[in-house]
Amino acid sequence: MKLKYLFLAMLATAGFISCSNEDDKVDPNATYDAEVNISVSPSAETSTKASTSGTVENGTADEQMVSRLTAYVFDATGKLVALSDTTNTTNHTATIDQIKKVVVKATESGTDYQLFVIANLKGSDATAVTSLSELNSKITNLSQESKETQLTMTTTSVITIKVKGMKDVRVYENYVVSSSGAMEYGTPITYTTLDSNSKIQLTRLVARIDLNSIKIDFVGGNFENASFTVDSVYMVNVNSQSHFTEPLVVDGSYWNARELPSFTVYNSLISPNGVNPTVHADTYGKKINQTIDNGKSISTNQLTCYTFVNPSVESTPNTYNTRLIINGTINYATGQKKEAYYHITIKDVATADYVLRNTIYKIDVTITGEGSPNEDQKSDLNAGINAKVTVVPWKVVNQNENDTN
């Protein structure tokens, strides 16, 4: 009888041990709450370290300011699993660089997620998305981008991150510590100890066009003692909308800041569907009404405006190079006058044949010839000159048009 009870006791003990071993096993598919801690930095490309003239170009305060940060976390299929929207409500003159923590489910071995960050998001429709494809379809409007509002910035691409959970830890901490998605786990990270390149970097959606100066350098007998009266400068073929993510160009909808509501198509330099938005008359076009003697120049910010990426007509059918047009009158010494148009194609020929985001194009123009008699017509010489460019990181392109005819 005693042996019987001893045998039963041994079975019970074995059962308990067996149950205990089963309890200790970790289900590899079990998920736990995990925090994703995110810090961002305006990219090294959002401020200029040095231009070719050695000047420092940090941009305006609003061009550098981050007052709102929106982080999206998508699963491997592109479904939205978490969103954090952080707005600076305490100090409106200071930029923010950290996002409220995002909590997701993750395994101990790690679960892959996709992260995308937008700074200074305009409106609320983009926070209502449920998938990455929906976010890709959302667009931002150029009318919302100005020196009076903080510029929209984004990560340059969707970042893949591996998030880990931990059994018996209520919320396991994960830290994103690079723009490529490198992670640190468990041990708290003080983001202030990391340099800006170790944080998620943001770049502006727009480019900025600065017309710095116009110089007249007419050559030839009939130009002796001639002058040029600059009537206006304006942008054409400015893409009016852009995706937050790639592809950045949406369609063939362009702003055109010329005064006339229509023009005669000669060489299809300007989009025939261009519109004249009254709201942008001061931004994309400017009246100068100043006469420049031969050999003289005018300078100091003749025009400043923002544009979106716009692919070249060579690489994408039915699109048009973004152009700056100078319009005015040549005043000959004989008393004869002649209207003239000069086209400058805005592009970074060293990197791409079109306008690049997060780039400042500083343009200095030297007019040497008669130009074109009509705004959509090529001159007999070079209507749109390939710019001589130098790029340095807000990236700066110093575009010198030394032979504009």
Query: Side-chain half-sphere of 317: how many Cα atoms within 13 Å?
Result: 0
The CA radius of gyration of the chain, in Å to the nearest whole number, is 29
What CATH number is given to the structural domain containing 291?
Answer: 2.60.40.3690
Q: Distance between CA 365 and CA 377 in Å, rounded? A: 19
Q: Distance between CA 86 and CA 39 in Å, rounded? A: 12
* Residue-level pLDDT at 78: 96
Query: Side-chain half-sphere of 358: how many Cα atoms within 13 Å?
Result: 23
Classified as helix, coil or strand, 300 is strand
What are the pLDDT tens digits along the chain (405 aa)? 555 554 445 445 545 444 545 555 668 789 898 888 887 765 433 332 222 333 446 677 778 888 888 989 999 999 999 998 888 877 666 777 788 888 999 999 999 999 999 989 987 789 999 999 999 888 888 878 877 778 898 888 899 999 999 999 998 998 888 888 898 888 888 877 777 777 888 888 888 888 888 989 888 778 888 999 999 898 888 887 888 886 555 455 677 776 555 678 888 888 876 665 554 545 678 888 999 999 899 987 788 888 888 766 555 655 678 888 999 999 999 999 999 999 888 876 666 667 888 888 888 888 888 888 888 887 754 333 222 222 223 655 666 766 666
As a dihedral over the C-alpha atoms of residue 184, residue 190, residue 192, residue 194, rounded to 10 degrees, the angle is: -30
Alpha carbon of 276 to those of 148, 266, 294, 305, 310: distances in Å?
A: 22, 19, 32, 15, 18
pLDDT > 70: what percent of the chain?
72
393 and 372 housed in the same domain: yes
Secondary element (H or E) of residue 160: strand 159-163
Number of domains in the chain: 2
Contact 358, 43 (CB under 8 A): yes
pLDDT in tens, 257-301: 765 556 788 888 888 766 655 545 456 788 889 999 998 999 877
Question: Which residues span the domain enclosing 325?
Answer: 207-404
What CATH number is given to the structural domain containing 82?
Answer: 2.60.40.2580
219 and 284 housed in the same domain: yes
Residue 75 CB contacts under 8 Å (≥ 6 apart), including other chains: 81, 113, 114
55 and 83 housed in the same domain: yes
3-state DSSP helix/strand/coil % of the chain, to nearest 5 = 15, 40, 45
157 and 304 housed in the same domain: no
* Residue-level pLDDT at 380: 54
Domain end residue (candidates: 178, 204, 230): 204
Token pair of 262, please?
A: 């229509």
Q: Is the peptide bond before 28 cis (omega within 30 degrees of 0)?
A: no
* Residue-level pLDDT at 313: 59
230 and 162 housed in the same domain: no
Beta bridge partners of 183: 176
Whether 123 maps to a domain, the answer reads yes
333 and 365 housed in the same domain: yes
180 and 215 housed in the same domain: no
Whether 8 maps to a domain, the answer reads no
229 and 300 housed in the same domain: yes
Cite the beta strand spans of 170-296 per DSSP E: 172-176, 183-185, 200-204, 207-216, 227-239, 241-243, 254-256, 285-293
Classified as helix, coil or strand, 135 is helix
Contact 135, 121 (CB under 8 A): no
* Residue-level pLDDT at 82: 92
* Residue-level pLDDT at 268: 82
| Residue type at position 245 | T
Q: Distance between CA 389 and CA 175 in Å, rounded? A: 39
Token pair of 14, please?
A: 């074995």
259 and 392 housed in the same domain: yes
283 and 311 housed in the same domain: yes
Q: Is this structure's pTM higher than 0.85?
A: no
104 and 192 housed in the same domain: yes
Domain end residue (candidates: 183, 204, 225): 204
Tokens 């010198």, residue? 400
156 and 232 housed in the same domain: no
